Amino acid sequence: MLRLADEVGVKSADGSVCTWQEGSSQQRGLAVQLFLDRDREQLTLGSACLSRVDATYDASSKWDHTLSRVRSVLARPDLLADFAHMIAFDAWVGNADRHQENWGTIEPMSAGNTRLAPMYDPAACLGAELLEGNRHFQETSRQAEELRRYIQRCPSGFGNGASPILLEQVIREIALWPEWRDNVRAWLAAFAKGMDTFEAFLPTVPSSWLPQHRKQFAIRLLNQRLRWLEGLM
């Protein structure tokens, strides 16, 4: 996903799959290259950004992570555009976990401009939570309808102050931002072109990491999510 994001113009970190040993068990995951100058800059996670400027924000409640709070914190048009671009990518790939510690700002320790941190963790996507044997991996006559329902139920990592909201609700709200309206058509065009890149890249992923039926599901999901996103515009 980090590679795909880079291909379609979303600011993202460089990352690589990795394995490590915990006792007798081998684990696998993602290693992300450091994306700031440790001597001159610091990463401030979204939760800290919100706490610093909003006395009513409760960092222990993820449902206090609202788009209106994010907008008031980022404030600058360039930061808001980069954030909206990241959310558009989330909507395309179905990233269900853009919580308040899954984004941040890079701030200079002395002089300089704050910038949005590149996307560093888009892993909760493409059906990553689906267990083997799930009906979504099977060819059925109801496949398209079930996939449509699956897309509509996608969580987001955002709330309305009292409860979680779905990713579709996030898109409907952020679609009111001028930074979204001014750029979304170009973003979606880039996503559409990115489908070819994604399909070419998939065969390079070992089947032990992503079996063939999950690769096929990922392609179907990205295609249908793109049509769904276009339909919300």
pLDDT, averaged across the chain: 93
Closest CA to 61 of 13, 99, 7: 99
- Number of domains forming the structure of the chain: 1
Q: Is 1 domain-assigned?
A: no
Residue 205 pLDDT > 80, yes or no?
yes
Element (H, E) at 87: helix 77-93
* 191 burial type by CB count under 10 A (0-12 exposed, 13-18 middle, 19+ buried): buried
* Mean pLDDT calculated for residue range 188-193: 97
17-58: pLDDT as tens digits: 889 999 999 998 889 999 999 999 999 999 999 999 899 999
pLDDT of residue 51: 95
What does R_g of the chain's alpha carbons equal in angstroms?
A: 18
Record the pTM: 0.94
Calculate the CA 201 to chain-centre distance: 19
According to DSSP, the β-strands at 41-45 and 104-108 are antiparallel
Q: Does 129 fall in a domain?
A: yes
CATH of the domain at 54: 1.10.1070.20
The answer to whether residue 187 sits within a structural domain is yes
Three-state SS at 43: strand
Q: Which domain holds residue 78?
A: 36-231
Asked, for residue 24, whether it belongs to a domain, the answer is no
Residue 16 lies in a domain: no
pLDDT computed for residue 97 by the predictor = 94
Rounded to an integer, the average pLDDT of 109-135 is: 90
